[in-house]
Structure 1
Amino acid sequence: MELVCPAGTPAAMRAAVEAGAHAVYCGFADETNARNFPGLNFSTEEMASGIAGAHARGAKVLVALNTFPRAGGEELWHRRLADAEAAGADAVILADMGLLAHAAEHHPRMRRHLSVQAAAANPDAINFYAEAFGVQRVVLPRVLTVDEIAAINREIDVETEVFVFGGLCVMAEGRCSLSSYATGKSPNMNGVCSPASHVAYAEEGQDLAARLGGFTIHRTPKNQPAPYPTLCKGCFSSGDQTGHVFEDPVSLDAKHLIPALAKAGVTALKIEGRQRSRAYVGEVVRTFRAAVEAVAAGRPMPEGALARLSEGQAATAGAYAKTWR
């Protein structure tokens, strides 16, 4: 299976390729991609040189243009499609139907992948995107079990890509409204979930309050580490309980499920983390490359402790192994 790895910066791209990534995914430094954070992403020149460097080492580059264009502002997304093709990208990752249609018409030779932001989670939806826009791969949302993925693969003729490590979103991908409610910025249009410009910390008595858009998301004692105020991982009161109502601050780690995902017909394994450091990227990629090679060769997967790189130093298999509805 292809190992698809994050590259939030040119340095992280080099680290991912050197660590054994089969492919890296990245985006331009603007609102066309869903990791539009200050200090991250690529200029047009950096994209071209990064792709050339990755190709020289035998790795592919997938460019994420996975936000939804603003009405009247489509020109930026159209220009970035042309920039990605000119730079030699191996594929573009798209979510918006209008942008998919534009890519199919004006850049027919450019391989098109359907972003997880499109939230296509059943055969009918996936086959629609394949037939209407020539999509060749779909990134599945993190709400499906392994058995459900296997069932989907039996009814589609496109490749499937799934997340195996990193951040875990509890919302249907591409449908989150919490952050946009609190900050006025849509993650799916502005490319930022819980934007740093709307984060504030304040001492209140013996506590440190972490706020997002004026809403207090966490209160921690002054001598304790204060988490970043992401809404879905915040602490809330519900009835007589106060705690992590939506999601615990943990990361996805599905390394032990790689054999099952291979049997389910998955083509590519995706690591989340374009906002992470190059050291993080290098270590995670090396671990998963060794695991993928072991599975392909029929060997036992190597043991590897990635817990210290996980959020809260804890991990979960997420929906892959869920037993509830």
Structure 2
Amino acid sequence: MSSSSPPPELVCPAGSLPALKAAVDHGADAVYIGLKNETNARNFPGLNFDEISARAGIQYARQRGRKVFMAINTYAQGVDITRWTRGIDQAADLGVDAVILADIGLMRYAAQRHPGLRLHMSVQSSATNYEAVNLAHELFGVQRAVLPRVLTLDQVRHVIEHTPVQIEVFGFGSLCVMVEGRCLLSSYATGESPNTHGVCSPAKYVRWEEGAAALDARLNGVLIDRYAKDEPAGYPTLCKGRFAVQDETYYALEEPTSLNVITMLPQIMAMGVSAIKVEGRQRSPAYVAQVTQALRAALDAAAHDGARYNVKPAWQQALGKVAEGQQQTLGAYSRPWR
């Protein structure tokens, strides 16, 4: 890759107006936000945007030459889809730079009702091949697709080589054991799926029970984890709980860890990836600022230095401090056994 190659767009999370400002101030090219309801996949109390805060955030970003995307990335329910369609109408009225959709029915609605609105295909669509991406492009004019975090670098490259659609991949943030958009664990425990209600562990089902020697974390009565008095306690999700299996207690499905591709940026950029995405609309403005700043510096260095690119320890230290479980991984991008 030549030293003159521009870096991919850095797309950062904003679960609140302070987080949006933190992302913009620390180098994000674009931020993605959601509404205060189940139309978005980070539907936590106290997070997300109403019309007033959304307009303020869009104005703040635009004044600084940055973009704002609206995530309406859960699946509309047949009983009443108006909340989702109203969300698309509201996004168009606000003048967002793109709306991120998972539901193809909503893609159809957006394409027909708001033909000038740019559409991005959410990771929740589970588009793991170029045929799915191209179909959304041909039918609804989708211009960018976010790929699930289960593809290898070769598989990502294969998609890019066979589609005119821009491809966005995750660069940092919490990992999930499932292919995004296909998880049923939450609905098994609570009856509410993240695809329909926007949260894989709805706060109303979360209970913390403090005992004499330990802190229990439960999801709708299911014991997810038990923490010692001096042990950091994470938010309970089924996939990252510790369970007793054949007389051993451990992370039976997945350990808490964060994807971090900072060492592989030159390879990812050389494939023609259009955007690098950061997970974490449920995280604090401090998290957003720290991750954005580190990735901004790394992306600019990778674009400028090419083959001479080296990861600075300060970047890794900054990202390590906010990694889930204080652990980092290359995820599916690194498959040495292949």
2:208–2:217 contact (8 Å) kept in structure 1:
yes
Q: Which residue of 1 aligns with 2:3?
A: none
CA distance in 2, matches of 1:275, 1:182: 21
Q: Which residue of 1 aligns with 2:4?
A: none
- The match for 1:291 among 285, 294, 298 is 298
Check if 1:181 corresponds to 2:188. Answer: yes
Mapping for residues 256-275 of structure 1, pairs under 5 Å: 256-275=263-282
Deviates more, 1:134-143 or 1:76-85: 76-85
Q: What is the CA distance between 1:124 and its match in structure 2? A: 1.2
2:263–2:311 contact (8 Å) kept in structure 1:
no
Q: Which residue of 2 aligns with 1:318?
A: 331
CA distance in 1, matches of 2:248, 2:182: 27
Secondary structure of 2:276's counterpart equals: strand
CA distance in 1, matches of 2:67, 2:231: 42
Normalization by structure 2: what TM-score? 0.93
- The match for 2:133 among 126, 130, 148 is 126
Check if 1:191 corresponds to 2:198. Answer: yes
Q: Which residue of 2 aligns with 1:207?
A: 214
The one-character-per-residue Cα deviations of 1:55-91 (angstroms, maximum 9, x if unpaired) are: 1100000100001111132111111111111111000
Q: Which residue of 1 aligns with 2:124?
A: 117
Q: Which residue of 1 aligns with 2:44?
A: 37
Check if 1:307 corresponds to 2:320. Answer: yes
Secondary structure of 1:287's counterpart equals: helix
- The match for 2:103 among 96, 120, 131 is 96
2:134 maps to a residue whose letter is: N
Report percent identity of matched pairs. 51
Q: What is the CA distance between 1:265 and its match in structure 2? A: 1.6
In structure 2, stretches of 5+ residues that fail to align are 1-7
1:294–1:300 contact (8 Å) kept in structure 2:
yes
CA distance in 2, matches of 1:169, 1:176: 9
The one-character-per-residue Cα deviations of 1:139-181 (angstroms, maximum 9, x if unpaired) are: 0000001111011111111000001111101101111110111
Q: Which residue of 2 aligns with 1:68?
A: 75
CA distance in 1, matches of 2:79, 2:218: 33
Secondary structure of 1:247's counterpart equals: coil
Q: Which residue of 2 aligns with 1:277?
A: 284
Moved over 6 A (4+): none
Normalization by structure 1: what TM-score? 0.97
Q: What is the CA distance between 1:221 and its match in structure 2? A: 2.1
CA distance in 2, matches of 1:10, 1:21: 14
Secondary structure of 2:256's counterpart equals: coil
Check if 1:167 corresponds to 2:180. Answer: no
2:262–2:311 contact (8 Å) kept in structure 1:
no
CA distance in 1, matches of 2:183, 2:298: 32
CA distance in 1, matches of 2:227, 2:30: 40
Check if 1:51 corresponds to 2:58. Answer: yes
The one-character-per-residue Cα deviations of 1:278-322 (angstroms, maximum 9, x if unpaired) are: 111111101101111111112524511111111121111111112
Secondary structure of 1:81's counterpart equals: helix
CA RMSD, 1 decimal? 1.4
Secondary structure of 2:188's counterpart equals: helix
1:236–1:242 contact (8 Å) kept in structure 2:
yes
The one-character-per-residue Cα deviations of 1:38-63 (angstroms, maximum 9, x if unpaired) are: 00000012112211210110000010
Q: Which residue of 1 aligns with 2:158?
A: 151
Q: Which residue of 1 aligns with 2:142?
A: 135
Check if 1:83 corresponds to 2:90. Answer: yes
1:2–1:267 contact (8 Å) kept in structure 2:
yes
The one-character-per-residue Cα deviations of 1:71-120 (angstroms, maximum 9, x if unpaired) are: 13211111111111111100000000110000010011000000000000
